[in-house]
């Protein structure tokens, strides 16, 4: 896919009908009408209908935070990629570190989810990232290379987005430095097509976004906490929009 610049919000398990209405109203009002930056929000499953209704035809796309690796069947509690497509989702996050760590998702499972999303016409946002222990042991490239490698074994990365999210920077308030981000992004770029958008995620805030986005191999951000606060999310979009 074209090397688009993208800011993606990951709302995680936050929100209510009322808070989502207020957040999207504010985003729709403040979103830049021109520029070269795309915006998407990845929302909890139950609100996909509400979000689709509010965002359809507008400048903000939407997606999910997870997807089943199966097409259909006896998988209680799971949501298929075809179901997400029916709700107009453009994106699906796969392999977020919270899914890997809290729910034991393996590299193979993440690769299968990536494939399922693509088959249904969604654009997967594949998350890779190392723990602090792995970074301190000098294993960052080995870990992110392995996570990405498993996906590349059986999938093309043509219509996909990569997100580097160091686990130690997610929700901790401690972002990777722009130089640390650039080093890993350059490594990852060597493994996918030069057109692949590569996002950084991990405590991106209005205060640090511009410096991170200025790095040559950073094409945008995957934003957790700050995506729940309209003025912060809009400021991050502004930092990418040139
Ligand atoms: C995330 O959940 O993907 C994330 C990057 O979270 P935060 O921005 O809160 O660190």
What are the residues whose beta carbons fall under 8 Å from the beta carbon of 45, sequence distance 6 or more? Answer: 64, 79
> What is the set of active-site residues?
96, 165
Nearest Cα residue to atom 4 of ligand 1: 224
Query: With 90 as the cut, is the pLDDT of residue 87 above it?
Result: yes
Q: Confirm or reject: Cβ of 171 under 6 Å from ligand 1.
A: yes
- Tokens at 119, concatenated: 């088959």
The CA 170 to ligand 1 mean position distance, Å, reads 5
Q: What is the mean pLDDT of the chain?
A: 97
What gap in Å lies between CA 128 and CA 122, rounded to an integer? 19
The CA 10 to ligand 1 mean position distance, Å, reads 7
Atom of ligand 1 nearest to the CA of 201: 5
Q: Confirm or reject: Cβ of 224 under 6 Å from ligand 1.
A: yes
Give the model confidence (pLDDT) of 1-22 as tens digits.
779 999 999 999 999 999 999 9
* pLDDT of 35: 85
Query: With 90 as the cut, is the pLDDT of residue 144 above it?
Result: yes
- Tokens at 106, concatenated: 């393996």
Atom of ligand 1 nearest to the CA of 165: 5
Query: With 90 as the cut, is the pLDDT of residue 37 above it?
Result: yes
Residue matched to tokens 């207020």: 22
Q: How many CA atoms lie within 13 A of 154 on its CB side?
A: 13
Nearest Cα residue to atom 7 of ligand 1: 224
Query: With 90 as the cut, is the pLDDT of residue 195 above it?
Result: yes
Nearest CA among 192, 68, 76, 57 for reference residue 128? 192
The CA 135 to ligand 1 mean position distance, Å, reads 18
The CA 171 to ligand 1 mean position distance, Å, reads 5
Probe target for ligand 1 pocket from 222, 229, 236, 239, with the most ligand atoms within 8 Å of CB: 222
């Amino acid at each position: 896919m074209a090397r688009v610049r993208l800011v993606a919000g990951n709302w995680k398990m936050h929100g209510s009908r009322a808070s989502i209405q207020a957040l999207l109203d504010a985003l729709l009002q403040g979103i830049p009408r021109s520029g070269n930056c795309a915006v998407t929000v990845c929302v909890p499953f139950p609100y996909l209908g509400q979000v689709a209704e509010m965002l359809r035809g507008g400048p903000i796309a939407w997606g999910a935070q997870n997807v089943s690796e199966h097409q259909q069947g006896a998988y209680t509690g799971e949501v298929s990629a075809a179901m997400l497509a029916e709700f107009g989702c453009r994106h699906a996050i796969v392999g977020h570190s919270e899914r890997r760590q809290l729910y034991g998702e393996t590299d193979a499972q993440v690769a299968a989810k990536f494939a399922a999303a693509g088959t249904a016409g969604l654009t997967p946002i594949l998350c890779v990232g190392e723990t602090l222990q792995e970074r301190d042991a000098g294993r960052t490239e080995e870990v992110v290379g392995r996570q990405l490698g498993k996906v590349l074994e059986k999938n093309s990365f043509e219509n996909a987005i990569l997100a580097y999210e160091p686990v130690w920077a997610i929700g901790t308030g401690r972002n990777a430095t722009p130089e640390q981000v650039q080093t890993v992004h350059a490594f990852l770029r060597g493994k996918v097509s030069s057109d692949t958008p590569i996002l950084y995620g991990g405590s991106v805030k209005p205060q640090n976004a511009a410096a991170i986005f200025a790095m040559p191999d950073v094409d945008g951000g995957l934003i957790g906490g700050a995506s729940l606060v309209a003025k912060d999310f809009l400021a991050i979009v502004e930092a990418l929009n040139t």
